[in-house]
């Protein structure tokens, strides 16, 4: 079975759903030990517990969920020792909606602990490896989902994007990664890292596959106070819009110092493809975009320190044995249950929220966030889409940046601004550098998901980059 898109899989599922499911289960058995993409794999029959599996608009489509979405009666770890044995009693809204649409769950994918990381090396269950080079990272924090799709272990996987955690691993693994507008997809049942930034999204081979999946995921949810009550368009039908007549703003900020020159060349080549398809290119510079990283690494840790305060060793999660008293229980449970990166961000967040520093750091970062959003909104008055590289380099080697957190944080330099502004964005494969994939990022205005999906679909119709498979993981006929 060669890699096929969601529409073809759905057509095949009408006559042989078990054959399609068995194909992906066999690939997981064969290849997962190489890349460590899954934390939990459902045994045959377990996925059938879902009440709507097999029916609905995505009937028969196998799917993998990032292990940050709670799944009823299926272990949900968030990549952490703190939740290593947690079995939720309910489904996240994303899980619920996709099950109702007919998706069958393959398993839960590996991730950076509590979604904190840019390389998928902070997981308690070990690092994920990039299928394109097993000595390199897949990106994070949704690296397990990205690696699973790239290696053909799942046709579609969910992810979450707080500062680029869908788009960055999609770029490094050579697939399509999509982050919707904040509020477009419910966060109910999605374990929180930074609540004002987190958004659920999709990793798949193509924009078309994303459109089919997003159509089932998106929509208002009264259980999530940040969910927006706004009609959901038919993303599949809108794919044919193309880019003819569209104005695409090239983010010159992203071509400054720090971008690998070869990556820059591939992105310029990709932009020329869009121009040949009928788009008009113009240069855009956002004055405050360079402040995205420092603003993010004040705001995100602040929210993380609040959200993770609930893991105290008392109510649920890891509890340290043999504690002397309550204070010792708190201290040991949290220091043993959380990894170093999570501890680092909790401490940073607690510091910036503390008396005497709130105004100097947190409040100032919120003001910068507003300036960044205003820059984006001003740009969208003159252009339809903004474009640039997704990452400054191709995938780096495992362990290369783990000792230097600041260098690691800069891997999200081109993606973080989108989260601060709450906008939709997508990464599509745009070429290879030394045999490793790179991604083109497309950014839209508020709730313009259909527009950027159509642009990516047009680009993918004119190129073959999204069809490439990692060496050694090629999908064979079955």
pLDDT in tens, 428-444: 999 999 999 999 999 99
Which domains are present in the chain?
6-288+370-467 (3.90.1300.10)
Q: Per-residue pLDDT averaged across 409-414, rounded?
A: 91
Residue 361 is predicted with a pLDDT of 95
pLDDT at residue 478 greater than cutoff 80: no
pLDDT at residue 213 greater than cutoff 60: yes
Question: Of 53, 338, 300, which Cα lies nearest the Cα of 160?
Answer: 300
* Angle between helix 449-462 and helix 207-217 axes, rounded to 10 deg: 160
Residue 459 is predicted with a pLDDT of 98
Would you report the helix, strand and coil content of the chain in percent, each value rounded to 5? 40, 15, 45
- DSSP annotation of 53: T
Question: To the nearest 10°, the Cα dihedral for 470, 473, 474, 476?
Answer: -170
pLDDT in tens, 37-56: 999 999 877 655 544 455 68
CB 162 within 8 A of CB 422: no
pLDDT in tens, 10-22: 888 878 888 999 9
Residue 152 makes CB contacts below 8 A (sequence gap 6+) with: 3, 24, 27, 31, 469, 473, 475
Alpha helix (H) residue ranges in 308-423: 326-337, 340-353, 364-379, 405-409, 416-421
Weakest-pLDDT range from 8-12, 112-116, 141-145, 157-161: 8-12
Catalytic residue among 80, 118, 141, 145: 141
pLDDT confidence bin for 3, thresholds 50/70/90 = low
H or E, element range at 441: strand 436-443
Integer Cα distance of 66 and 170 in angstroms: 14
Query: For this structure, is 80 an active site residue?
Result: no
CB 138 within 8 A of CB 172: yes
Residue 453 is predicted with a pLDDT of 98
CB 148 within 8 A of CB 109: yes
Question: Of 50, 41, 45, 25, which Cα lies nearest the Cα of 144?
Answer: 41
Residue 286 makes CB contacts below 8 A (sequence gap 6+) with: 251, 253, 372, 375, 376, 379, 417
Integer Cα distance of 469 and 266 in angstroms: 18
Tell me the pTM: 0.96
Integer Cα distance of 161 and 176 in angstroms: 13
Residue 476 is predicted with a pLDDT of 65
CB 194 within 8 A of CB 304: yes
Catalytic residue among 118, 142, 165, 186: 165
* Burial class for 73, CB neighbours closer than 10 Å (0-12, 13-18, 19+): exposed
pLDDT at residue 2 greater than cutoff 60: no
Integer Cα distance of 202 and 187 in angstroms: 14
How many degrees, rounded to 5, is the angle at CA 80 between CA 204 and CA 52? Answer: 45
Query: For this structure, is 14 an active site residue?
Result: no
- Whole-Å CA distances, 316 to 67, 82, 308, 331, 440: 17, 9, 12, 15, 41
pLDDT in tens, 286-298: 999 999 999 999 9
Q: How do strand 280-284 and strand 247-251 relate by DSSP bridges?
A: parallel
Cβ neighbours around 171 below 10 Å, total: 32
pLDDT confidence bin for 191, thresholds 50/70/90 = very high
Q: Where are the beta strands (DSSP E) in 90-206?
A: 104-109, 156-161, 176-179, 199-204
CB 60 within 8 A of CB 17: yes
pLDDT in tens, 229-270: 999 999 999 999 999 999 999 999 999 878 999 999 999 999
Residue 477 is predicted with a pLDDT of 47
Residue 63 is predicted with a pLDDT of 97
pLDDT confidence bin for 199, thresholds 50/70/90 = very high
Residue 1 is predicted with a pLDDT of 42
pLDDT at residue 405 greater than cutoff 90: no
Task: Return the residue matching tokens 């490896």.
Answer: 129
pLDDT in tens, 347-394: 999 999 998 899 999 999 999 999 999 999 999 999 999 999 999 999
Asked if the bond preceding 141 is cis, omega within 30° of 0, the reply is yes
Q: What percent of the chain has pLDDT over 70?
A: 96
Residue 316 is predicted with a pLDDT of 84
pLDDT at residue 113 greater than cutoff 80: yes
Cβ neighbours around 398 below 10 Å, total: 20
Integer Cα distance of 251 and 364 in angstroms: 25
* Burial class for 14, CB neighbours closer than 10 Å (0-12, 13-18, 19+): exposed
Weakest-pLDDT range from 9-18, 272-281, 323-332, 460-469: 9-18
Averaged confidence pLDDT in the chain:
95
**Structure tokens that stand for 60 in this block:** 């028969």
Query: For this structure, is 195 an active site residue?
Result: no
């Amino acid at each position: 079975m060669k890699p096929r898109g969601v529409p073809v899989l759905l057509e095949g599922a009408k006559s042989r759903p078990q054959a399609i499911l068995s194909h992906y289960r066999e690939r997981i058995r064969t290849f997962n030990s190489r890349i460590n993409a899954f934390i939990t794999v459902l045994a045959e029959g377990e996925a059938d517990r879902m009440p709507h599996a097999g029916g609905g608009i995505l009937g028969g489509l196998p799917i993998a969920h990032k292990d940050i979405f709670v799944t009823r009666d299926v272990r949900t770890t968030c990549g952490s020792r703190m939740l290593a044995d947690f079995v939720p009693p309910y489904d996240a809204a994303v899980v619920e909606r996709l099950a109702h649409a007919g998706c069958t769950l393959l398993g839960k994918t590996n991730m950076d602990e509590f979604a904190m990381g840019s390389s998928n090396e902070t997981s308690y269950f070990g690092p994920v490896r990039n299928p394109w080079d097993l000595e390199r990272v897949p990106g994070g924090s949704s690296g397990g989902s990205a690696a699973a799709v790239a290696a053909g272990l799942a046709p579609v996987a969910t992810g979450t994007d707080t500062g680029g955690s869908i788009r960055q691993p999609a770029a490094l693994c050579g697939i399509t990664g999509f982050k919707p507008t904040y509020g477009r997809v419910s966060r109910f049942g999605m374990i929180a890292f930074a609540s004002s930034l987190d958004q659920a999204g999709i990793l798949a081979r193509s924009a078309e596959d994303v459109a089919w999946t997003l159509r089932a995921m998106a929509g208002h949810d009264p259980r999530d106070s940040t969910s927006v009550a706004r009609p959901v368009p038919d993303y599949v039908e809108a794919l044919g819009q193309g880019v003819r007549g569209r104005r695409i703003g090239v983010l010159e900020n992203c071509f400054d110092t720090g971008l690998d020159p070869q990556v820059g060349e591939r992105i310029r080549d990709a932009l020329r493809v869009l121009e040949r398809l009928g788009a008009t290119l113009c240069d855009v510079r956002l004055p405050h975009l360079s402040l995205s990283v420092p603003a993010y690494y004040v705001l995100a840790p602040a929210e993380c320190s609040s959200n993770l305060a609930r893991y105290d060793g008392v109510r649920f999660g890891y509890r340290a044995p043999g504690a002397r008293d309550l204070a010792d229980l708190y201290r040991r449970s949290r220091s043993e249950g959380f990894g170093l990166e999570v501890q680092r961000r909790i401490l940073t967040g607690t510091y910036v929220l503390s008396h005497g520093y709130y105004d100097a750091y947190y409040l100032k970062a919120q003001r910068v966030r507003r300036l960044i959003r205003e820059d984006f909104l001003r740009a969208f008055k003159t252009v339809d889409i903004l474009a640039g590289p997704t990452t400054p380099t191709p995938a780096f080697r495992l362990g290369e940046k783990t000792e230097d957190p600041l260098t690691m944080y800069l891997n999200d330099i081109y993606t973080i601004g989108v989260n601060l502004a709450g906008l939709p964005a997508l990464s599509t494969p745009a070429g290879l550098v030394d045999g490793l994939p790179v991604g083109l990022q497309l950014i839209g205005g508020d709730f313009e998901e259909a527009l950027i999906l159509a642009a990516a679909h047009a680009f993918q119709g004119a190129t073959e980059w999204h069809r490439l498979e990692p060496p050694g993981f090629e999908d064979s006929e079955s």
